[in-house]
Amino acid sequence: MQIRRFVKWFLRSSDPQAQRARLIVRLVIVLGLFVGLFWIIPIDEVIQALRSADIRLLAIGVVFGLATVFLSSVEMLPLIRKQGIQRNLLQIFAINLSVKFYLLLLPTMLVGSAVRWYRFAQPEGKVVESFVALAFFRLFETFLTLVLGLGFFLISMQEAIKVSLGWVVLLIVVIVLVWVLITRFSLPIYRWIRERAGSLPDRPYLHPILDSLEKVLSTASSYADMPASGLFLMIGAGILSALAGITSALFLAEAVGINLDFLEMGWIQAVVSLASQLPFTIGEGLGVREVTLVAVLSLFGINAAHALAFSFLIFIRNILIALLGGILEAIEALRARRTVRLAEIHRDTNDL
């Protein structure tokens, strides 16, 4: 009983000591992963691979990384507008860049989510509306990652199928149709489950499944009446954002001499993205991303040192994008400070 209570406290408690303990465990795990990696992989080979990296390809990868963030902002635009939150595209883009900056400094994905949630909720105080919009965005992003990753994997593994644009287009059409059905029919399904959930026998193992399904359907039902134009803008921008992210990774891989095709990189990117969201990760999957890439790329016969160098290039790209968010944060802080200073001067003048 005491062990169960301790585990519950450690995993779920918002107590500062529990948060500190979780952070320490994350740091120990990441440190252990890197020690294990460099125990196996000679660090001088990794450094040599990084030194030989093509800077031009790295720069192109960074540009496509920025495009990914921008397209994600386009994807968010109809979602927050549906909730009555008035933000233009550039403001959403700036918020997303700021989130990248805070994820670089702070250890968990939850911090980044909290920053984005707060920024959308203020100053109008639309706390619930902001939460619903971001929950729907996260739901769609997870769905997109899973479907694109699985679709690219199945297509790339079929030797009899020639890789063509047609298969990719078919996969995208399927994504659009499925998500249209999810949003349009989530509300009646949600109501049907709520009406019948109470009549189900008391089986404890069913409760977590029903609760999770109810949360998903409840989130999706918030956008059941979303205009078709907004829905297609969200889906289209989300797909383009995912494709831009894959393209960015392709250029970064090529910078250190790793040659993969688009479909292969597509499912590899999905695996890395999902692994980076594990509860014990920090800094957008630091450590877990490196281990995952070394393991997956070994299936293609790629040298572990080059795989690790590729992962470090992804980290460098993320840092460069995050620094842009940091610059925007500094400008905003200076602007707010100047506004406060002017208000104080105006108040002192009136007092005289």
The pLDDT of residue 241 is above 80: yes
pLDDT of residue 170: 75
Residues 102 and 343: their CA atoms lie apart, in Å, by: 29
Whole-angstrom distance, CA of residue 272 vs CA of residue 297: 11
DSSP state of 163: P
CA-CA distance, 196 to 63, in Å (whole number)?
50
Give the mean model confidence (pLDDT) for residues 10-37.
Answer: 67
Interval 172-190: pLDDT, tens? 777 777 777 777 776 676 6
Residue 134: pLDDT over 80? yes
- Tell me the average pLDDT of the chain: 79
Task: Give the pLDDT of residue 71.
Answer: 95
Round to whole Å and give the CA distance between 62 and 65: 5
Mean pLDDT of 235-259: 93
Q: Judge whether residue 163 has pLDDT over 60.
A: no
pLDDT band per the 50, 70, 90 thresholds, residue 248: very high
In angstroms, the CA 69 to CA 72 distance is 5
For the segment 298-327, what is each residue's pLDDT rounded down to a tens digit? 888 898 889 989 999 998 999 899 899 888
Average pLDDT over residues 114-131: 77
- Nearest alpha-carbon partner for 129 in 192, 77, 80: 80
State residue 281's pLDDT score. Answer: 67
- With 0-12 / 13-18 / 19 or more C-beta atoms within 10 angstroms meaning exposed / middle / buried, residue 72 is buried
Q: What tokens appear for 188 in the block? A: 């009646």
pLDDT at position 286 is 72
- pLDDT (0 to 100) of residue 77: 92
> Vertex 321, ends 58 and 239: CA angle to 5°?
85
pLDDT of residue 282: 67
Could you read off the pLDDT of 56-112 as tens digits, one per residue? Answer: 999 999 999 999 999 999 999 998 888 888 888 998 998 888 888 887 766 555 566
User: DSSP H helical segments within 276-303, as ranges?
Assistant: 288-297
What's the pLDDT at 249?
A: 94
**26-35, 193-202, 262-271, 297-306: least confident range:** 193-202
What residue spans define the domains of the chain?
Answer: 44-340
Which 3 state secondary structure label does DSSP give 282?
Answer: strand
> What residue type is 322 in one-letter code?
A
